[in-house]
Amino acid sequence: MTHTRCLIIGSGPAGYTAAIYAARANLQPILIEGPQTGGQLMITTEIENFPGYPDGVEPFQMMDDLRRQAARFGTTFVSGSVTNARLGVPINYITVEDKDEYEAETVIIATGASAKFLGIQSEQDYKGKGVSACATCDGFFYRRKTVAVVGGGDTACEEANYLSNLCEKVYLIVRKPYLRASKIMQDRVLNNPKIEVLFEHNTLRLTGENRVEGADLIYKKGEPEEEIRHIAINGFFLAIGHKPNTDLFRPAVECNEEGYIIVRGDSQATNVPGVFAAGDCADPHYRQAIVAAGSGCKAAIEADRYLQA
């Protein structure tokens, strides 16, 4: 059993920033990196909106900078995922990969969120055979082919633009008659000749022998113009939002209906004394790297104050 004053779970901007602050407060934090070192940002192409990088930055570069900054002040990194958590005063018990046990006086949960799926059967049937939730990871396999991206937010637009650099054609399947994405992302999509936006379309099923070869879509479902349309595609990319990674901490840690951890008022404190939450796992509103980093800072300062009290 390893004892620590501060254990941080997650290696995105929230986790690393919490580690920088906790380490500089001499808490000698241990940070459990989780299934994807660097977190969700690692699957985006380029980060253009994090202050301090006027020319944009590649995700790997930014996360490596944050990690090295946390290491410089004495953070210990543990690779692996948390498999069990028993949280509560006077001490919290965390298990990593079902074998390594930690007892922590304070815990900062910064586990982020994971991509959502539509919930149709063919997504499962064609997983790894043309269905993906990460254009940056899998786009390369679809060079000079035709793909579809589902969603109307910034992620969907970013992925559609990214794929248009590799693919012959990109359909963007949007369930509403408008895009939810920021204006700049909308403009990039709408002015891209390789992207065709299919407004008011929903996906019914994917088709194909052994791999995705097409999709049946329903246009204007429930309206007089309702119509089933088929598109020929080789790849189907989901970009419809995320689910917070908080299952392990419930029910001890209070969450809202969507699973986001509820923090108290203006702080990062959860309902469990000594347990704090930061980043996307506790943020249904902004879900931005800079906000996550700020909340990681707050969580570490609060953990330090809790220990002092």
Residue type, 226: E
The overall longest dimension of the chain from CA atoms, in Å, is: 66
280: annotated active-site residue: no
Instruction: Point out the catalytic residue in the list 6, 138, 154, 157.
Output: 138
Q: Decide: is 180 part of the binding site for ligand NDP (CB under 6 A).
A: yes
x/- contact string, 133-152, with ligand NDP (CB under 6 A)?
-----------------xxx
x/- contact string, 214-253, with ligand NDP (CB under 6 A)?
--------------------------xxx-----------
Q: Decide: is 154 part of the binding site for ligand NDP (CB under 6 A).
A: yes
Q: For residues 210 and 46, what is the distance between their CA atoms, to the nearest angstrom?
A: 33
Alpha-carbon torsion angle 194, 200, 205, 211, nearest 10 = 10
Q: Are 108 and 296 in contact (CB under 8 A)?
A: yes
Evaluated on CA atoms 85, 37, 293, 189, the torsion sign reads negative
Q: Which residue lies nearer to ligand NDP by CB, 97 or 258?
A: 258
Within the chain, how many helices (H) and strands (E) appear? 7, 17
x/- contact string, 264-283, with ligand NDP (CB under 6 A)?
--------------------
Q: Which of 133, 156, 160, 189 binds ligand NDP (CB under 6 A)?
A: 156
Evaluated on CA atoms 253, 257, 259, 262, the torsion sign reads negative
Strands 76-78 and 169-174: unpaired
Q: Are 15 and 36 in contact (CB under 8 A)?
A: no
- Beta bridge partner(s), residue 196: 171
Q: Which residue lies nearer to ligand NDP by CB, 155 or 270?
A: 155
Q: Decide: is 13 part of the binding site for ligand NDP (CB under 6 A).
A: no
Residues 67-106 that bind ligand NDP (CB under 6 A): none
Q: Are 44 and 158 in contact (CB under 8 A)?
A: yes
Q: Which residue lies nearer to ligand NDP by CB, 145 or 175?
A: 175
| C-alpha of 10 from chain center | 11
Q: Which residue lies nearer to ligand NDP by CB, 60 or 84?
A: 60
Q: Which residue lies nearer to ligand NDP by CB, 28 or 202?
A: 202
Q: For residues 136 and 115, what is the distance between their CA atoms, to the nearest angstrom?
A: 14
Q: Which of 105, 158, 283, 304 binds ligand NDP (CB under 6 A)?
A: 158
Instruction: Point out the catalytic residue in the list 65, 125, 134, 216.
Output: 134
Which of the residues are catalytic?
134, 137-138
Please give the residue ranges that form the binding site for ligand NDP (CB under 6 A).
48-49, 118, 150-156, 158, 175-176, 180, 240-242, 287
